[in-house]
A and B are shown apart, each in its own frame.
Chain A
Amino acid sequence: MNLDFSQMVPYIPFILEGIWVTLKFVIVAIILGSILGTILALFKIGSIKPLRWFADAYTSIFRGTPLILQLMIIYYSIPQLTGYDISPFLSAILAFGLNSSAYISEIIRAGIQAVDKGQMEAAQALGIPYRAMMKDIILPQALKNILPALMNEFITLTKESAIVSTIGYLDLMRRAQVVGSDLFRNFEPLLFVGLIYWCLVMGLTVIGRMFERRLKQSD
């Protein structure tokens, strides 16, 4: 056993900067995934056949292939096909946002379908238009049911974000590798970023709990 964290000290600021780098694209990917996921979920429960078909096909493709493959395809094929030199940041947002929207759409679809059918009938009987009914009556109730599943998805996304290190994006994971090869010592920096990931996920968990409590107000 030969652990020595002292050599790592000069690199700590460099690694800590990675927190924001990781968070930045994770947050954008979560937002993108949530918006797209909601739209896809509405397609899936809607009555327009082509949209339903599209949403199902979309989900099947993004759930059916590895995330790292999707990331590589976006990062390497877009320059090859269009000549546009896509940045690692943009590739990461796209891959993670598009991928998680497939999962999120399934979570939201299940949540909507779990809301009592009577709620929809009550809204219809009052003459409330479909859009307003979804936004103000159905989705808020669905959100309460699916919050744990949704938090799970966000936590997974935060941790899986480490695979963007493979396209050279200087996130937490990549920084640990850089430091490791500088020092010829890998274990300490890896352990260090492991701890940071754990803290990030704990933070997310706490936020999720707070949100859950607020939604429980009406119980």
Chain B
Amino acid sequence: MIKVEHLYKKFGTNEVLTDISAEIKKGEVVSIIGPSGSGKSTFLRCLNMLEIPTSGKVLVNGRDLTGPKKEIENIRQQIGMVFQHFHLFPHMTVLDNLTYAPMKVKGLKKAVAEEKARTLLQRVGLSDKEKAYPSSLSGGQKQRVAIARALAMEPELMLFDEPTSALDPEMVKEVLDVMKDLAKSGMTMAVVTHEMGFAREVADRVLFLDHGALVEEGQPQEFFTSPKTERARDFLEKVL
């Protein structure tokens, strides 16, 4: 589904990502973990070109994202993204947040887009909020709307950039539940997270990044019980 080859990213002289190659297969849920500053968010953002890689390739279904600009816009429609700070459109109602892109980008009729949006809101448990503005929602509700907004474009791949890090503790579960539900439905997902419980329980594979390099990858069971590298062991000792 998505393949990364020899990805490098520099900010000025600061090398944030060093020679990362990885692949995410269709239907797979991959957790990307690592200490803060390890480059995991930058890596995720390179997957839909929110950060332009310094060198290397990102291939989505064989199409090169590092190519011309028009191509990026088309491929981005197939990749949904959920941010740490939600980034809902504050001047639009919840329903408009969900229908805007499908209508504008995919040319859906208003009625069709709204019907689909309502189905999605039901799925994330927020049917009663369609007329509300984002400012009146709690963090957990905002994030669930943000997930629904991304799903409204019917993406093949969903990227999650620390989706629960900005939430109050009691709201983490409602968001993780939606994500688990999504994983079960067969969605391909790449999740940057500090929720080791989620990585362990839901992910098919774990990528461990440190200092911009892909240090270790493996099945969650294996990785969490017997990490192969020193650095992964150190990290797990601190967070578990």
Q: A121-B50, A121-B87, A144-B91 are in contact. Are A136 and B100 (CB under 8 A)?
A: yes
Q: Which residues of B contact A132 (CB under 8 A)?
A: 104
**Interface set, chain A 97-143, CB cutoff 8 A to B:** 116, 118-119, 121-122, 124-129, 132, 136-137, 140-141
Could you tell me if B76 and A127 are in contact, using CB atoms closer than 8 angstroms?
Answer: yes
Output the nearest chain A residue to B70 by Cβ-Cβ distance. Answer: A129
**Interface set, chain B 80-105, CB cutoff 8 A to A:** 80-81, 83, 85, 87-92, 100-101, 104-105
Interface size on B, residues (CB 8 A): 28
Cα–Cα, bound, A121→B50 (Å): 7
Q: Which residues of A contact B73 (CB under 8 A)?
A: 127, 129
Residue A218 at the chain B interface, CB threshold 8 Å: yes
Cα–Cα, bound, A217→B91 (Å): 8
Cα–Cα, bound, A124→B47 (Å): 13
Could you tell me if A122 and B76 are in contact, using CB atoms closer than 8 angstroms?
Answer: no
Q: Which residues of B contact A140 (CB under 8 A)?
A: 91
Residue A219 at the chain B interface, CB threshold 8 Å: yes
Could you tell me if A141 and B90 are in contact, using CB atoms closer than 8 angstroms?
Answer: yes
Q: How far apart are A146's CB and chain B's nearest CB, in angstroms?
A: 14
Output the nearest chain B residue to A219 by Cβ-Cβ distance. Answer: B135
Q: Which residues of A contact B91 (CB under 8 A)?
A: 140-141, 144, 215, 218
Output the nearest chain B residue to A130 by Cβ-Cβ distance. Answer: B73
Q: Which residues of B contact A137 (CB under 8 A)?
A: 89
Q: Which of B48, B87, B105 has the most CB of A within 10 A?
A: B87
Instruction: Point out the residue from A125, A129, A141, A218 that lies within 8 Å of B50, measured CB to CB.
Output: A125
Could you tell me if B83 and A124 are in contact, using CB atoms closer than 8 angstroms?
Answer: no
Residue B165 at the chain A interface, CB threshold 8 Å: no
Cα–Cα, bound, A217→B134 (Å): 12
Q: Which residues of A contact B85 (CB under 8 A)?
A: 118
Residue B119 at the chain A interface, CB threshold 8 Å: no
Residue B124 at the chain A interface, CB threshold 8 Å: no
Interface size on A, residues (CB 8 A): 21
Q: A126-B150, A128-B105, A129-B73 are in contact. Are A218 and B133 (CB under 8 A)?
A: yes
Could you tell me if A119 and B76 are in contact, using CB atoms closer than 8 angstroms?
Answer: no
Q: Which residues of A contact B153 (CB under 8 A)?
A: 126-127
Could you tell me if B83 and A136 are in contact, using CB atoms closer than 8 angstroms?
Answer: no
Q: Which residues of B contact A121 (CB under 8 A)?
A: 50, 83, 87
Could you tell me if B83 and A127 are in contact, using CB atoms closer than 8 angstroms?
Answer: no
Q: How far apart are A126's CB and chain B's nearest CB, in angstroms?
A: 4
Could you tell me if A127 and B101 are in contact, using CB atoms closer than 8 angstroms?
Answer: yes
Q: Which of B76, B79, B101 has the most CB of A within 10 A?
A: B101
Q: Which of B76, B90, B134 has the most CB of A within 10 A?
A: B90
Instruction: Point out the residue from A116, A125, A144, A218 that lies within 8 Å of B135, measured CB to CB.
Output: A218
Give per-residue flags for B121-137: 1 if the beta carbon is below 8 A from chain A beta carbons, else 0.
Answer: 00000000000011100
Q: Which residues of A contact B50 (CB under 8 A)?
A: 121, 124-125
Could you tell me if A125 and B48 are in contact, using CB atoms closer than 8 angstroms?
Answer: yes
Q: Which residues of A contact B79 (CB under 8 A)?
A: 125
Q: How far apart are A163's CB and chain B's nearest CB, in angstroms?
A: 38
Could you tell me if B105 and A116 are in contact, using CB atoms closer than 8 angstroms?
Answer: no
Q: Which residues of A contact B101 (CB under 8 A)?
A: 126-128
Q: Which of A122, A132, A141, A215 has the most CB of B within 10 A?
A: A122
Could you tell me if A127 and B105 are in contact, using CB atoms closer than 8 angstroms?
Answer: yes
Cα–Cα, bound, A219→B101 (Å): 22
Residue B149 at the chain A interface, CB threshold 8 Å: yes
Output the nearest chain B residue to A137 by Cβ-Cβ distance. Answer: B89
Cα–Cα, bound, A157→B87 (Å): 36
Output the nearest chain B residue to A121 by Cβ-Cβ distance. Answer: B50
Q: A132-B104, A218-B133 are in contact. Are A119 and B83 (CB under 8 A)?
A: no
8 inter-chain pairs at a CB distance below 8 angstroms, sorted by A residue, are A118-B83, A118-B85, A118-B87, A125-B76, A125-B159, A126-B77, A127-B153, A129-B105
Interfacial residues, chain A to chain B (CB-CB below 8 A): 116, 118-119, 121-122, 124-129, 132, 136-137, 140-141, 144, 215, 217-219
